[in-house]
A and B are shown apart, each in its own frame.
Chain A
């Protein structure tokens, strides 16, 4: 277990794939003790790549490894009534339970908040579901694609489309699922702080749709400003533009406000066209945005990506290269900040993981002693024997009986 500011916080996780697991990873990376309960077949993230050396092995999925660092892992089959007693015994000792079963599922097993708070009145229980615990869609099914599009985030992508002929898209990778994890971590940290102050526990209902919608909140209420839905075309055009350089790399430039524009013009060596109408005033540039893009793209062809990036930044204007995973990893900025850190894992060995986006002056805030994600059932013996008092032989029997 990592050591850090959340050391002492006890979390039980009964979640699958990304959102719930990422929320508890954020807690575990800062020192919380997270016991991850997996169904006997394991978290479905184990069945998704990228796999180390492209060899499919449930213990070496990068998706699973990244999303579950610093946790302890046990297996439990809640179909069995005895397993439910074990679940209760674990929750009894916890500050926080994060779960992501569909609404009603835990109630059927007698494991809903009403039951669990009898055992542990200070419990903070968090349920993460696609659409929340109530409302007409609460029983609806949604994969990442569907939640993303149900949040309004997809409808406006790709931003700056020439027209609406092509379909809206989701954010890259599983970004929305990770967003939900971060969103939930704020609620958990807040509720835990409240518990430290008052001893009071509570129930928290998180809807994935709403978590992602919250990030789109500005765009959604722009409806009232512009009198129609922002879309990926026209009205939602952002005053930035992508240019492609001589070496085929892309640079994103921000063209607003005036100061930004002035810096770009200087960086390009004050080209003649940029010094005269219709490119001098912001309003004119807006009206001639398409021409402006063509001009900028022509200019960009004179430079290599990193050269253009440094030129524009040197003039004090914001811009950046579009980085692939390789470029993120190899950037001197990433290296200087030691953003990736090596973490060892019993099967996958030592790999480099993206680390925390924070640096602290206080020693107490720094997470220490990181370890890799648990292998399936890695901590069964530790938790079942040392924590719950079963003998080693009983753990074998529990396994044979299909309970763990």
Chain B
């Protein structure tokens, strides 16, 4: 198969926004690491502290792909969750390692962690411990259920937050099971965490004070379905799954197209759009039903309408329908597959996907940052680091260790 190719990436300057901000990233899996990546796109220097005793899970395998990698430096998932970072391997199970981690934190502005509550404390790296070495440190810990409350010690992965937070129950066919979606839930938490870290930096600038931030991933997800939760607090009603249906629009659905597993989403939001829609599909007789004159009537008869629309769309390609409907002022977009997205003229025109080099895996394609700043462009400066790639450099250049001190640390297995 011919894989889509994109422009080679030129060397880029780091974003100006978080220039000078250094982050000690103790996080693993997806939710914590991707937050570090987002901050790195905004110009922060992110140093990932890794343990060889407890290798980041995505270096080993993933929920979706299993253990299909050649080694710890060959995981595309790890790469995408850790773009732009440095990696130091410190053994925080040794007293020297803990001391070293603290030394590193003392040179940082922000600490990221997402182990179960209490883990950092057990290692001697709690917020209180770290404040001793850096008074105004900002430390964020994201966990499945939050670091307080009766479930605080419970384990949580992405599907867990989505379920407990109320989103999974709302996602799915009306006649089907709830759906937890995929790793996207972790990334949702990462974005919410990135926002609050920058807010804490703003606060530090104004007050000189750092803070501890406890993030509940489940609450992050709950906030994205706020109105559905309020249906309960207002009226005692819990909304249910509705597939692609809308509260009042019809047609409003995803209809099959000519090619295998290709689909078009169509939403008709007004009488004017309905008239235009009728014209595009050739004014067939069924559209003349007087019941379909207004939104209420169309919504009420949405099933019958859907069946008719389906019969018509299946003879066309999704892109052809998109063009025809959009030209008539109707909201219609294909349900895009990865291949659609990677070959689409619009994503090309927006330079969304770029080629980069990974030191072990070589050429790879990744998505560039989706904020377009006019003065301070967000950039991915490099691929993810190899395991421990920057240990020596960080020891020497950031912590000022001599060659001899580095050797001693290696001998005591504080770094490895």
Contacts and interface: CB of A to CB of B under 8 A. Distances in A.
B352 to A, nearest CB: 7
Interface stretch (B89-97, B323-331, B397-405, B406-414): B323-331
Interface string B243-254: 110110100111
B199 A158 contact: no
B196 A229 contact: no
Contacts of A168: 254, 263, 335
Contacts of B285: none
B337 interface: yes
9 contacts: A66-B230, A149-B334, A168-B263, A173-B228, A206-B372, A210-B352, A329-B229, A333-B218, A358-B213
Contacts of A183: 191, 370-371
Contact of B249 (A143, A158, A252): A143
B229 A224 contact: no
B294 interface: no
Given A149-B333, A204-B372, A325 B151 contact: no
Which residue, A6, A150, A183, has most C-beta atoms of chain B within 10 A? A150
Contacts, number: 505
Contacts of B61: 256-257
Interface string A1-40: 0000110100000000000000000100010000000000
B308 interface: no
Interface string A185-200: 1110111111011101
A53 B17 CA distance: 46
A333 B198 CA distance: 27
B156 to A, nearest CB: 5
Main SS of the interface on chain B? mixed
B222 A354 contact: yes
Give the interface size class of chain B: 35 or more
A355 B146 CA distance: 14
Contacts of A203: 373-375
A143 B241 CA distance: 19
Contacts of A5: 199-200, 202-203, 206
Given A149-B334, A215-B188, A361 B177 contact: no
Interface in A322-363: 322-329, 331-333, 336-337, 339-340, 351-362
Given A204-B373, A221-B76, A252-B159, A179 B224 contact: yes
B265 A145 contact: yes
Contacts of B252: 143, 145
Contacts of B169: 172, 322-325
A224 B3 contact: yes
A236 interface: yes
Contacts of A169: 171-173, 179, 243-244, 254
Interface in B97-130: 127
A211 interface: yes
Contacts of B227: 50, 62-63, 66-67, 173-174
Interface residues of A, number: 153
Interface in B260-294: 260-261, 263, 265-267, 269
B178 interface: yes
A365 B230 contact: no
Interface string B1-41: 10100000000000011100000000000100000001000
A166 interface: yes
A308 B211 CA distance: 37
B254 A353 contact: no
A362 B209 contact: yes
A286 B202 CA distance: 47
Contacts of B176: 158
B157 interface: yes
Main SS of the interface on chain A? mixed
B412 to A, nearest CB: 29
A230 to B, nearest CB: 6
Interface in A235-292: 236-240, 242, 250, 252, 254, 256-257, 282-283, 286
A83 interface: no
B373 A322 contact: no
B232 A149 contact: no
The list of the 5 closest CB pairs from A to B, nearest first, reads: A172-B170, A362-B211, A357-B219, A336-B149, A229-B337
Given A143-B246, A357-B215, A362-B211, 10 more contacts: A52-B235, A53-B235, A132-B350, A148-B265, A159-B181, A206-B371, A217-B187, A221-B80, A223-B338, A337-B219
A316 interface: yes
A365 B267 CA distance: 41
B317 interface: no
Interface stretch (B297-305, B340-348, B384-392): B340-348
B238 interface: yes
